[in-house]
Structure 1
Amino acid sequence: MTRLPTSTVLSRTINVLESTLLAYCPEWAFIASWKDEPLSVQPAAISSRISRLGQAVARYGLVVVLAWIGVGKFVKMEAHVLIEHNPLMSWIYLVLSHSAVATALGTAEILAAVLIALHRVWPLLSAVGSAMAVVLFVGTLSFLFTTPGLVVGHAGPIPILGALPGQFLLKDLVLIGVAIWTLGDALDGRRMPPAAKQNSGG
């Protein structure tokens, strides 16, 4: 049995990986093409590639953040202090223990992450995951208005938030925006004909 050169094996492995990525992650198409095509100096071409790269980072960055924080809920429940001061959520500890709430939140975050990542193969489920993420981030943003001690000073009329948990919570303004975008994108993908979806890279 003839042994294939290492370079051939490596090349075939890369081709298989690229084919798999192209099937499930359309954003990879323009990244993979960079090795074969010179980057156009036309502003429109450059801005288009940058925009698509930003979309890929936004979508899968959201997936990573949700999944990572969700896994953390099974190790340490850091949100119970925030929830206890929230009049809309504090009642939950009358029904469930701290560990049960942590498990429920972690499961919801991981599930949302998985569903968002399925936007290519199952847009409807991806939309459900994005909607879940929006609800989760609305909940965490509400802590900005209910948790005491977040403001550590003022710069004129502007309140200054402490690093934890104030600034940690504030970042969810960006995350909820990304979740809303992925929700709309998934709904568009569900309505888009297959041919149009293929041409758009969605």
Structure 2
Amino acid sequence: MLSEATEGRLAHLGVGVSRWSLVLFFIGFGLFKFTPQEAADVAPLMAHSPFLFWVNPLFGQQGGSDFIGVIELIFGVLIALRHFQPLLSAYGSLGAAGALLITQSFLFSTPGLDPQSADAGFLLKDLTLFGVALFVSSEAFGAARRRSAGS
């Protein structure tokens, strides 16, 4: 058994690692969306998505990827604001969770995607990130409530 103090330190460390890995993920992949290679790679996923099918026809392949990149960057920045604006961070985390659910839908909507391929594995990891986004959102909502009660 661990002491309560050790449990608290582990929980604090776990929340921090979870939040900042999510921030780095969204900022890193958000920036990557501005590259022609990534735009070409995500175009077939978006074209068959029940949620994003309209993006590339509206903005073009690179513009559509840029659009998604901006959204990902916004979520990453909002999540990073946890210590300054926990409520914004909580909503950013919820937005990230929604984005991660959309990427999970690619597993079912992309024709010819081999479930055992590296592409499918890359998409499947978003299920874990979805859980992380919900977890850090809950923590940030709690921090916002405590801050509001202390005001």
Which one of the candidate residues 41, 46, 49 is aligned to 1:86? 49
| 2:58–2:64 Cα contact (<8 Å) kept | no
- For 2:143, the equivalent position in structure 1 comes to 189
What is the number of residues matched between the two proteins?
148
Gaps of 5+ in 1: 1-40, 152-159, 197-202
Deviations 1:47-86 (A, max 9, x none): 3322221111101000001100001001131211111122
- For 1:173, the equivalent position in structure 2 comes to 127
Which one of the candidate residues 61, 66, 72 is aligned to 2:32? 72
TM-score computed with the length of structure 1 as normaliser: 0.66
Q: 1:134 and 1:42, CA in 2 relative to 1: closer, same or farther beyond 3 A?
A: closer
Q: For the residues of structure 2 that align with 1:88 and 1:60, how far apart are their CA atoms?
A: 27
- For 1:48, the equivalent position in structure 2 comes to 8
Q: For the residues of structure 1 that align with 2:135 and 2:60, how far apart are their CA atoms?
A: 34
| 2:15–2:136 Cα contact (<8 Å) kept | no
Equivalent position amino acid for 2:71 in 1: A
- For 2:79, the equivalent position in structure 1 comes to 116
C-alpha deviation, 1:194, in angstroms: 6.8
Equivalent position amino acid for 1:170 in 2: L
C-alpha deviation, 1:179, in angstroms: 0.9
TM-score computed with the length of structure 2 as normaliser: 0.87
Quote the RMSD (CA, aligned, Å): 2.2
- For 1:161, the equivalent position in structure 2 comes to 116
SS in 1 for 2:82: coil
Q: For the residues of structure 2 that align with 1:43 and 1:115, how far apart are their CA atoms?
A: 34
More helix as a share of residues: 2
- Ranked by relative contact order (alpha carbons within 8 Å, sequence separation 6 or more), the top structure is 2
Q: Sequence identity, in percent?
A: 36
Gaps of 5+ in 2: none
Q: For the residues of structure 2 that align with 1:107 and 1:135, how far apart are their CA atoms?
A: 15
